[in-house]
Amino acid sequence: MNFTFHRKRISGLLAMVPANERSFLEEMKNFNFPESRSLKLKEVMGYDKHRIVEPGVCVSDLAVFGLEHLFRNGLLQRDEIDALILITQSPDYFMPATSNVIQGRLGLKHDMLCLDISQGCAGFVIGLIQAFLLLEQESVRKVILVNADVLSRKTSAKDRNSYPLVGDAASIAIVERDREDSVIHANLKMDGSRNEVLMIPAGGFRTPSTAETAALEDVGDNNLRARDHLRMDGSAVFNFVQVDVPPLIESLLTQAGVSMDSVDYFLFHQPNRFMLQKLADKMKVPYAKMPSNIVEHFGNSSGVTIPLAIAFNLAGRLKQDNYQVCLAGFGVGLTWSSMLMRLARLNFCELINYP
């Protein structure tokens, strides 16, 4: 499915990571693997440090902290928020929507839309598409797109396939109309027949959480995980990304009439360094144009890796410079989506610690 948007832009971006930093070298002892094998993997996958929330910290805590930072610094006014979209796989509650919880905690106006979207690694791009669609309405002038996940709370610390990678983080993008005649192209695909490739099997209504689903099980490869935990079929995800993402990008650029060379940055979701570099090789994109340094510094925080990559790599330059960027997210659902847009003249672009 293809989309084209006119006169829309991201005008500000804030990324937040928990101050609590863990290191793979310290955590290696939790895994039943020889140290030499873990160290080889560290080098290839980019495992190093990751940011994990303290127990009890929820998505709304990160969002409220970030929005209050913007209010306090005069970067956003409470009353100008016409819509608050929250992209998350780790809501505070089943009900109500966490976007409503955020609205209530911040005392935002009633004349606004709060919307939770259950999306993961493609969530930032899906959220932008939704924000641009809302901005087609005259009554909507400013959309706040919050992308946040605290999936470390649903990941087994004794699962070497998932835990070293996982990171918690949040981002807030201010999305509004552009005075210039900018054009944004996007596309997305979904395949629900592969929904079990990435999932948390228990804890919902299908399989409620019980003592049994919370018990750690030996799931092979010396990993221990409960059914309440995040489960990822790593090989299937890898194959999905290598097979399905390159044609998605090719189709996007064809749709936009833009060559690969004229894209300044390919800011893709970052599952791990190996997967991203294989993608870059396949697409013949230089590594310098496709940053893959988020997992090693912060961990994989689902869709937040995209805004985090922007804030971490480009923050100092986005206030004055103008870049044509290709964003892409791919993961749970399965969902894969990409977007070609200009990032320019941001009012702010920051990375801060929580708290």
List of residues contacting another protein (CB under 8 A)? 37, 40-41, 43-45, 160-161, 221, 234-235, 238-239, 241-243, 274-275, 278-279, 281-282
Residue type, 104: G
Minimal distance, residue 334 CB to another protein, in Å = 16
Q: Taking the complex as a whole, how short is the minimal distance between the CB of residue 210 and another protein, in angstroms?
A: 30
Closer of 236 and 258 to another protein (Cβ): 236
- Minimal distance, residue 251 CB to another protein, in Å: 17
Name the residue nearer to another protein (CB basis): 209 or 242: 242
**Given CA atoms 148, 252, 140, 348 in this order, what sign does their dihedral have?**
positive
Return the number of the residue (251 or 277) whose C-beta is nearest another protein: 277
Q: How far is the CB of 120 from another protein (least distance, A)?
A: 20
Q: How far is the CB of 184 from another protein (least distance, A)?
A: 28
What is the residue whose two structure tokens read 């070609």?
340
The answer to whether the CB of 344 falls within 8 A of the CB of 323 is yes
The residue among 241 and 326 lying less far from another protein, judged by its C-beta, is: 241
- CA–CA distance, 208 with 222 (Å, rounded to integer): 26
Q: Which residue has the tokens 């002038």?
A: 141
Q: Which of 268, 303, 272 is nearest to 289 (CA)?
A: 268
State the nearest-atom distance from the C-beta of 274 to another protein, in Å: 6
Nearer to another protein, 9 or 160 (CB): 160
Which one, 43 or 54, has the nearer CB to another protein? 43
In our burial notation (b when 16+ CB lie closer than 10 A, e otherwise), range 299-310 reads bbbbbbbbbbbb
Distance CA 348, CA 316 (A): 9
Q: Vertex 63, ends 139 and 334: CA angle to 5°?
A: 85
Return the structure tokens found at 49: 């440090």
